[in-house]
Amino acid sequence: MSILQTEDPEISKLINAELARQQDGLEMIPSENFTSRAVMEAMGSVLTNKYSEGYPGARYYGGNKFIDEVENLTRDRAKQLFGVAHANVQPYSGSPANLAIYFALLDPGDTVLGMDLAQGGHLTHGYKFNFSGKFFHAENYGVDQKTHLLDYDAIREKAKAVKPKMIICGATAYPRIIDFQKFRAIADEVGAYLVADISHISGLVIAGEHPSPVHYADVVMTTTHKTLRGPRGAMILLPKVADRYHDQYHPKTKRDLAGLVDAAIMPGLQGGPHNHQTAAIAVALKEAATPEFKTYGKQIVKNAKKLAETLVAEGITLITGGTDNHLILMDVSPLGLTGSQAETLLDSVDITVNKNLIPYDPRKPMDPSGIRLGTPALTTRGFTEDDMVAVGKTIAAVLKAPDNETVLSVARMAVEKLTDAHPLYS
Ligand code: DSN
Is residue 21 predicted with pLDDT exceeding 80?
yes
Closest residue to atom 3 of ligand 1, CA basis:
31
CA 14 vs CA 3, 202, 307, 423: distances in Å: 15, 31, 32, 20
Q: Per-residue confidence at 254, pLDDT binned at 50, 70, 90?
A: low
- Average confidence score pLDDT of the chain: 95
* 388 and 328 Cβ atoms separated by less than 8 Å: no
From ligand 1's centre to the CA of 242, what distance in Å? 32
98 C-beta closer than 6 A to ligand 1: no
31 C-beta closer than 6 A to ligand 1: yes
- Interval 107-160: pLDDT, tens: 999 999 999 999 999 999 999 999 999 999 999 999 999 999 999 999 999 999
Q: Per-residue confidence at 243, pLDDT binned at 50, 70, 90?
A: low
Is residue 93 predicted with pLDDT exceeding 60?
yes
121 C-beta closer than 6 A to ligand 1: no
94 C-beta closer than 6 A to ligand 1: yes
- Which domains can be identified in the chain, with CATH numbers? 42-288 (3.40.640.10), 299-421 (3.90.1150.10)
* 201 and 169 Cβ atoms separated by less than 8 Å: no
From ligand 1's centre to the CA of 314, what distance in Å? 28
Which DSSP letter does residue 251 get? Answer: G
- Interval 331-375: pLDDT, tens: 999 999 999 999 999 999 999 999 999 999 999 999 999 999 999
Is residue 182 predicted with pLDDT exceeding 50?
yes
From ligand 1's centre to the CA of 31, what distance in Å? 6
Q: Is the dihedral of CA 203, 209, 215, 218 positive or negative?
A: negative
Q: Measure CA 294 to chain center.
A: 17
Closest residue to atom 1 of ligand 1, CA basis:
31
Question: Can you tell me the distance from the alpha carbon of 382 to that of 372, in angstroms, rounded to the nearest whole number?
Answer: 21
From ligand 1's centre to the CA of 201, what distance in Å? 12
Question: Can you tell me the distance from the alpha carbon of 157 to that of 113, in angstroms, rounded to the nearest whole number?
Answer: 12
pLDDT at residue number 240? 75
pLDDT at residue number 2? 85
* 342 and 198 Cβ atoms separated by less than 8 Å: no
Ligand 1 pocket: which of 198, 200, 343 to mutate (most atoms within 8 A of CB): 200
Q: Measure CA 394 to chain center.
A: 26
Query: Which whole number is the average pLDDT over 279-283?
Result: 99
Question: Can you tell me the distance from the alpha carbon of 59 to that of 50, in angstroms, rounded to the nearest whole number?
Answer: 12
Catalytically active residues are: 51, 53, 197, 223, 226, 232
Atom of ligand 1 nearest to the CA of 354: 4
Against a cut of 0.85, is the pTM above it?
Answer: yes
Coil, helix or strand at residue 376: helix
122 C-beta closer than 6 A to ligand 1: yes
From ligand 1's centre to the CA of 251, what distance in Å? 34
Is residue 212 predicted with pLDDT exceeding 80?
yes
Give exposure, 363-380, as e/b (b: 16+ Cβ within 10 Å).
beeeebbbbbbbbbbbbb
* 206 and 297 Cβ atoms separated by less than 8 Å: yes
Q: Is the dihedral of CA 254, 258, 260, 261 positive or negative?
A: positive
Closest residue to atom 5 of ligand 1, CA basis:
172
Atom of ligand 1 nearest to the CA of 200: 5
From ligand 1's centre to the CA of 172, what distance in Å? 6
Question: Can you tell me the distance from the alpha carbon of 115 to that of 359, in angstroms, rounded to the nearest whole number?
Answer: 11
Question: Can you tell me the distance from the alpha carbon of 274 to that of 262, in angstroms, rounded to the nearest whole number?
Answer: 15
